[in-house]
Amino acid sequence: MTLLDTPLVSGLELSPPVLVRLISYTRDAPRLVAAAARITVSKKPVEKAWDMPSSEIEKWIRELIRRGHGSPLEHAVYTFEVVCSRVCSHQLVRHRIASYTQQSMRYTEGFLRQMVIELCQFSDVECPEKPRRRDDYALYSSILRWAAGLVDRHDERNGVETAKILEAVSRAFVLNPKWNFGTMLSHARIHLQAAAEYYKMLAEGLPREDARFVLPQAVRTRVVFTMNARELLESFLPLRMCSHAQWEIRLLAWRVREELVRIHPEIFRYAGPRCVFQENRVRQEPCRLEDYVLGQCGFTIERCPELVPRQGIANCLGLAAQSSRW
């Protein structure tokens, strides 16, 4: 095994690939969903249907999930802020029953700037925190080229310096923490070179909207998105929590579920990948995702929607859970 094949050095403080924060949601969503379900089979008005004990709320929600009666779930709405790569955000916005607002790279390069400032501090070079002149952008470009050259010349003698540069790169670009050291260095070098070209173009007077064409899709972005509980339970989480999903959006989906279960377990404890979603539709009583992962609930479906046969579903689910640090 060579140095480049080894895992990353211990103590490396990379920014997490994905950041997820729940910023707003329908506070009484479980009761609202249960009441909406109740009025479909009752002559009672909503205010009467609203008045029920917690045990009845869970009963109505379980029945919705078991029967696939999704419309009451649409009254519960959840808004998240996420930071991820543009690779991930392109996948996220394919979910059409949702609303999105994304950071514009025509007007800001905030994540890139954070990387450069950290590199300036590390190299003891005084850099403006908010570049205003072409000379400022030229300085940014030169710092990035210096860092790229140091990564290119990496060996055991400058391991600490390289680690610091990798940490800075992770502020602006998504790096998979499970990559080996060689893969990490290759990606970091390409990202640094591309960012140097980007700032060189700004120094030459090119507008941001044109300079951004040279940036890799790994560049970080910020997205605010809103989905209702039905879209989350029936589309987003089943598709994106699956082991067949790309690793970054899978990580995002598992984090989203964690936040949802934390506030409204009555609705989301049964949420999971497509295998769990399909199995819960045919069981007499749905099982929690945790019970499937721990083997306390088995699968009865012949195969999952991804064509994994019954005997392989549990292992596939376990892989998704493990790879998402669940």
Q: What residues act catalytically?
A: 240
Q: Report the 10 Å Cβ neighbour count for 127.
A: 17
For residues 229-251, b (16+ Cβ closer than 10 Å) or e, as one string? Answer: bbbbbbbbbbbbbbbbbebbbbb
Nearest one of 260, 257, 294 to 273, comparing CA atoms: 257
Q: What is the DSSP letter of 291?
A: H
Residue entry with tokens 């999704």: 70
126: tokens are 């005084």
Residue entry with tokens 């910023």: 23
DSSP annotation string for 141-195: HHHHHHHHHHHHT--GGGHHHHHHHHHHHHHHB---TTS-HHHHHHHHHHHHHHH
Pairwise CA distance, residues 97 & 133, whole Å: 43
Asked if 185 and 4 touch (Cβ cutoff 8 Å), the reply is: yes
Q: Tell me how far apart the terminal alpha carbons of the chain are, to the nearest angstrom.
A: 30
- Secondary structure element (H or E) that encloses residue 21, with its range: strand 19-25
For residues 52-70, b (16+ Cβ closer than 10 Å) or e, as one string? Answer: eeeeebbebbbebbbeeee
Pairwise CA distance, residues 251 & 240, whole Å: 8
Q: Report the 10 Å Cβ neighbour count for 152.
A: 13
How far from 88 is each of 15, 18, 79, 219, 251, CA to CA, in Å? 16, 9, 17, 10, 10
